[in-house]
Every structure is written in C-alpha cells, then in structure tokens.
Amino acid sequence: MKNLRTELKESIIKELNLEDMEPEDISNEEPLFGDGLGLDSIDALELIVLLEKDYGIKLTDPAQSKEIFVSIEQMASYIEENRTK
Amino acid sequence: MQNKIYINGLGSISAQPEDLISGEAIRVYDENIFSAISPNYKKYINLKAFRRMSKGIKMGITAAQIALKEAEIDMPDSIITGTGEGCKLDTEKFLENLLDQNEKLLSPTAFIQSTHNTIGGQIALNLGCKQYNITYTQNSVSLETAFLDAQIQLREDPEMKVILVGGVDEVSARITSFRKLDGQLKQNPIKNIDLLKVDSQGTITSEGAHFFALSKEKNQKTYAEFQSVSIKNSIQPEEVTEEITAFLKIQNVNLLSIDAVILGVNGDNRYDHYYKDIQLDLFKNTPQLAYKHLVGDFDTASGFAVYLGANILKSGKVLEVLRLNQVECRNPRTILIYNQYLGRDHSLILLSAV
C-alpha cells in the first residue's frame, strides 16, 4: 500500500498543477505556504476540498486549516487520526 | 478637433508564427479546429500564477505584455478586453467536475477562473494595475466594442493617455465542437489555406490573443493611427455599401483613398455574399485582403486583421498569401477592415499610416 505522505504529495501536485514537480521534490517537513512550497489562499481552498473528497474529513472551522496545512507531515498525521474513508 | 489615437505597440498570438510578417512560412492545418502556437509563456508570466492559468489567460497576458513592451509602457491607464466566449477551458473543467462529483466538493480554481473577465483581471494582477478594467463579450464584435470604449475614453477623458485593448478567445474540446454541431464549421476537414476555395457551408476555427497599446501620442515605433471603429449588429446584404460609405463620410475619408480593404471572408457560402457584393462593386479597383484562411474564424479573430493592417501601414508590405485580387497595393496609407459573422455583428475599423 502506498505511503500516505507520498500519496498526499502526488494529490497536491495533481490538484494544484505544480508543474515540473515530483513527490520527492517536496520534503515532509517543508512549509506548504509562504517560504516553502509557496502555496496561497486559493490552494488552501483546494486542500480543504481534497481532504473531504479523498479522506472524508470536513473542516468546519477555517482556523483549523492553518494548523493542519503546515506541512505534509502535519497533514498526514491529522488524516491518520480523523479519516473516515 | 478631436485628438488622434495611435497604435504604439501590438502583441499577437495566433495559429500562425509570430514572424509571419517578416517572412516565416505559413502554417498549414488539416483540421477545422486548430490551436494557436504557444510562445514561451513563462518569459512573461509569474510562475506561481502560471500553473493555474488556462491557455486563453496565458495568451492574453503574453500578448498584452508584448504590446506594452513595444510601446515602452509600464502601466496603462485602462485595460479593456473583448472575448466572445471567455474562459471555456475552465468552464468545461468546472462543469465536468460538477457532474463527476455529483454537485459536491467542487474545485474552486476552475470556478473562479471560468468567468469572462478573468483574462482582463489576470492582466491587471500581473501588471499591478488598479485602473479601469472592463471586459466586453459581444460575440464577434467583442474586440470592436473594446476598441469603441477605448476610442471614447481617449477622446473624451483628458486624463486618459494610454489604453491597453485586446481580444482573446480559446479553443476547448466541447464548447468549440458545438460550432460544428450547429453547422458553423465545415463538416469535412479541409486545409486552412483552401478555406476560400471550398464552396460549402461553415468555416474553420482556432484561437488567439491580440492586444494593442493605444496612445494619444505617437512615437518613432508607432504602427498606425487608429481612426475609428463602427459596429452594426444587423445589416441587410444590400445595405453594406451604404454603411461603408456613411462611415467613411463621417471620417472625412474619400472612398478612392482606401488603399486596401481587409475582409473577414471565412468560406461560409451562406454569408460570404456580404463581402462579395462590395468586392465586385465598391472595392473592385481596391486591393482586397483576407486572413481567416490563416488563423480561422473566432469571435476576436478580427484582432489579427488589425495586427496585419497596422503592420502593412508601417512596413508598406503586403504578404502575397493575403491577396484576394491582383490590384497592386502601392504605398498603402489607409486601410479599412470589414468583418461580420453569420450575417450579424458587422464592424468597420479604419486605420491610417502616420
């Protein structure tokens, strides 16, 4: 079974059209927003949709996303604890 | 006396190479729907924003940047865009997503970027321009409506110095193919260069972006003077001559001083008689040029005619492949562009040399 962290990287690259990037180009601890991967607020909306579509996690409090979308590692941990599918 | 308007810079992205004017060989296509040739968009667009953009947005931003660079303008006073069908690729993506996801959990990006004014908005974001920004979507007079707005503003508003005006339309798999379903496109594939030789219903289509930096001041790089634009949504074929004559009279231009006429003939035998009548009578002794056999017909294809007209007036040269008749075009000083689509949305644009 594919590692959740690799799966997440592949989904993010595909959904956010991160052209010329491969999963190995993104480290698990690298910040997703700001200086790291450089994602922005529209990407945050895409990630919220991705969490619900692929893992059945519905974020009701927007403030939560700031804590979850810190890095691939943080996202994976949250998914492991809260996924419904 | 009203002030003059000059075309000081232009950017063109179409199915023909950007060096067509300077002699590069024309591209020949075997299909009735074909794509524009993509330049290296990454030279012109912020890489972070680039990944979300559909081809129409990329073409628009790039053509706009080229036009502004040619005119040596960092920031226009207005951005006015025309698009007949807007951002079709993102519209289709959003609608497919809507069906696949059973109307739930939809990707926001395609929705945000599916609106017609995305292109003008993205051009402004790319430039950091917070001035007047508007998009006109009026079928095949979308670009002409944008020109009309620019003309009014440059003539009426003393604060307005430079306006970026352009037209963009992109091809998409489904929405563009609807044109074939309702008979707007030829039913069998033809070579684009044979478009005006095939006597049948429908035309061929493609995509493109044409932007123009219009200014009240001319400079050494100025291409041409943009004299005027006129739009009539409905004209009977027998009224075309009268419309052209009336338009030229308002502009104080004698019919005999038209050195070339660029016509939007598109090979559709149901509607090309709008042009045929003036080809055989009003302009029988005038050099007649065509362009849709090179770039296809789409709602803002007339941008390519303005691009050609401006280049012809600047260089004095006419490409052989454009000619519809053998009347010699010596030292062209005034060019009239006439376009219509499906017998509707007629437009006239008058350009002159500086």
CATH number of the domain encompassing residue B255: 3.40.47.10
Domain boundary among B180, B215, B250: B215
Do B27 and B174 belong to one domain? yes
- The pLDDT of residue A1: 54
By C-alpha distance, the chain B residue nearest A15 is B107
- The pLDDT of residue A60: 82
| B50 within domain boundaries | yes
By C-alpha distance, the chain A residue nearest B100 is A53
pLDDT, tens digit (0-9, with 9 covering 90-100), for B273-316: 999 999 999 999 999 999 999 999 999 999 999 999 999 999 99
Chain B neighbors of A52, CB-CB under 8 A: 105
Do B167 and B240 belong to one domain? no
The whole-number average pLDDT for the span B214-230 is 97
Do B46 and B187 belong to one domain? yes
Do B293 and B177 belong to one domain? no
| B283 within domain boundaries | yes
| B307 within domain boundaries | yes
Give the minimum alpha-carbon distance from B29 to chain A in angstroms, rounded to a whole number: 29
Tell me what ipTM this predicted complex has: 0.81
By C-alpha distance, the chain B residue nearest A49 is B105
| B237 within domain boundaries | yes
Lowest mean pLDDT among B102-106, B221-225, B342-346: B102-106
Task: Choose among B51, B105, B112: nearest Cβ to A17.
Answer: B51
Do B191 and B283 belong to one domain? no
Do B159 and B240 belong to one domain? no
By C-alpha distance, the chain B residue nearest A58 is B105
Do B150 and B260 belong to one domain? no
- The pLDDT of residue B349: 98
Asked if B109 and A53 come within 8 Å (Cβ–Cβ), the reply is no
Whether A46 contacts chain B with CB within 8 A:
yes
| B162 within domain boundaries | yes
Whether A7 contacts chain B with CB within 8 A:
no
| In the predicted structure, residue B3 carries a pLDDT above the cut 80 | yes
Task: Choose among B48, B51, B108: nearest Cβ to A45.
Answer: B108
For chain B, the C-alpha Rg in angstroms (whole number) is 19
Tell me the pTM: 0.94
Do B192 and B276 belong to one domain? no
- The pLDDT of residue B83: 98
Asked if A49 and B106 come within 8 Å (Cβ–Cβ), the reply is yes
Asked if A49 and B108 come within 8 Å (Cβ–Cβ), the reply is yes
Do B157 and B285 belong to one domain? no
How many residues are present in chain B? 354
pLDDT, tens digit (0-9, with 9 covering 90-100), for A31-79: 999 888 889 888 999 999 999 999 999 998 878 888 999 999 999 999 9
d(CA B343, CA A82) in angstroms, rounded, equals 61
Whether A13 contacts chain B with CB within 8 A:
no
Asked if A16 and B51 come within 8 Å (Cβ–Cβ), the reply is yes
| In the predicted structure, residue B88 carries a pLDDT above the cut 90 | yes
Asked if B106 and A16 come within 8 Å (Cβ–Cβ), the reply is no
| B17 within domain boundaries | yes
Q: What is the mean pLDDT of chain B?
A: 96
Residue A9, CB half-sphere, CA atoms under 13 Å: how many?
A: 19
| B197 within domain boundaries | yes
Domain boundary among B169, B188, B215: B215
Percent of chain B at pLDDT exceeding 70: 100
Lowest mean pLDDT among A29-33, B27-31, B104-108, B195-199: B104-108
If you count residue pairs, one on A and one on B, with CB atoms under 8 Å apart, how many are there? 25
Chain A neighbors of B112, CB-CB under 8 A: 42
Do B273 and B333 belong to one domain? yes
Tokens of A67: 């804590």
d(CA B173, CA B175) in angstroms, rounded, equals 6
Do B244 and B272 belong to one domain? yes
The whole-number average pLDDT for the span B125-143 is 97
Q: Residue B255: which domain range?
A: 224-352
By C-alpha distance, the chain A residue nearest B48 is A38
| B1 within domain boundaries | no
Task: Choose among B51, B107, B108: nearest Cβ to A19.
Answer: B51
Percent of chain B at pLDDT exceeding 90: 92
Do B10 and B144 belong to one domain? yes
Chain B neighbors of A42, CB-CB under 8 A: 52, 108-109, 112
Q: Which of residues 55-84 of A touch B (CB under 8 A)?
A: none
Whether A35 contacts chain B with CB within 8 A:
no
| In the predicted structure, residue B218 carries a pLDDT above the cut 90 | yes
By C-alpha distance, the chain B residue nearest A40 is B48
Q: How many structural domains does chain B have?
A: 2
d(CA B202, CA B267) in angstroms, rounded, equals 7
Domain boundary among B215, B232, B257: B215
